Amino acid sequence: ITFNYQIARELGVMNYLLKPINRETVLAALENMPAPVKNILLVDDDRAMLLALQEGFARYSDSFSVLLAGDGIEAIEYLKRQPISLVVTDLKMPRVDGFALLATIMANFPDIPVIIITAYGTSELCQELDRLGVKYFKKPFRFPEIVKWLDGCAGRIAAGNGLPHAS
């Protein structure tokens, strides 16, 4: 059997050891493995809002990688391809909106916390999001509000424990 290094990298192999191996070799390989990257997925069809959110999340660049999606379809593709630690999404978007994205995440990726940002925060909508345990912010919001809330949760996200479900 031949080992194809390119295919191994594409499959996510970070390192390899040739047999025979001993305990010290395994421990050294484990020490040199990079920490897993935590990804925040930002979803909004308004490019200016998406870039403003990206700029706001730059504060967390030492802990998180920020991914951008222009709608729910792009977001679902990201969710299928790589691990996501947090999704921040608008509700009103073409093709697949935030409601459908939220339903997809809750059904297929229930451990991924979601923050909703919306300009359409009716009392009924807010009650439904509260019932679902989804954090939301009404547009226009001040980014420091999100930062303050995330600061209280950053350790949980970085540890892979998700966010508290509260409004």
User: Higher-confidence residue: 67 or 9?
Assistant: 67
pLDDT above 70 (res 163): no
Q: CA-CA distance, 167 to 113, in Å (whole number)?
A: 13
Give the C-alpha separation, 105 to 145, whole Å: 24
150's CB contacts (< 8 A; 6+ apart) are: 60, 157
pLDDT range class, residue 75, cuts 50, 70, 90: very high
Do residues 85 and 157 touch, judged by C-beta distance below 8 A?
Answer: yes
- For the entire predicted model, the pTM comes to 0.68
pLDDT over 80 (residue 158): no
Cβ–Cβ under 8 Å, residues 121 and 138: yes
Query: What tokens appear for 146 in the block?
Result: 């999100």
70-91 average pLDDT score: 91
Distance CA 78, CA 119 (A): 25
Average confidence score pLDDT of the chain: 76
How is the chain split among helix, strand and coil, in percent rounded to 5? 45, 15, 40
CA separation (Å) from 12 to 6, 7, 16, 43, 104? 10, 9, 11, 25, 25
